[in-house]
Amino acid sequence: MDSRRCKCQWCGMKIAAPIGAQTITCPRCQSVTQLQPARNYGFANFPTANNNMSQGFPAFPSRPGRMSPNANNFQPQQFNPMSPQINNIRPPAVHGRKRAVLCGITYRGHPKSLKGSINDVLSMRYFLVEKLGFPNASVVVLTEDEKDPYKYPTKANIRSALRWLVQGCQPGDSLVFHYSGHGTRVRDHDGDEIDGHDESLCPVDFETEGRILDDEINNTIVRPLPRGATLHGIIDTCFSGTFLDLPFLCRINSRAGYFMWEDHRIRSYKGTNGGIAISISACDDHQNSGDTTAFTGFPTGALTYSFIQTLEQETKLTYGRLLMSMQKKIQEAQKGIGLNGENETQEPQLSSSEQFDIHSKMVAI
Q: What share of the chain is helix, strand, coil (3-state, %, to 5)?
A: 20, 25, 55
Q: Say if strands 291-292 and 276-281 run parallel, antiparallel, or are unpaired.
A: unpaired
* Angle (CA) 203 327 308, round 5°: 60
Q: Report the candidate in 174, 183, 157 with the shortest Cα–Cα distance to residue 236.
A: 183
* Angle (CA) 310 217 34, round 5°: 105
**Active site annotation includes 182:** yes
Q: Report the candidate in 215, 210, 218 with the shortest Cα–Cα distance to residue 190.
A: 215
Angle, helices 319-335/302-313, rounded to nearest 10 degrees: 130
> What is the Cβ-side half-sphere exposure of residue 228, based on CA atoms within 13 angstroms?
6
Q: How far is CA 298 from the centre of its chain?
A: 20
Rg (CA), the chain: 20
CA distances from 17 to 5, 31, 90, 350 (A): 6, 14, 18, 46
The catalytic position among 29, 169, 202, 238 is: 238
Which helix or strand (DSSP H or E) is residue 334 part of?
A: helix 319-335
The catalytic position among 110, 178, 182, 264 is: 182
Bridge-partner residues for 183, per DSSP? 201
Catalytic positions are 182, 238
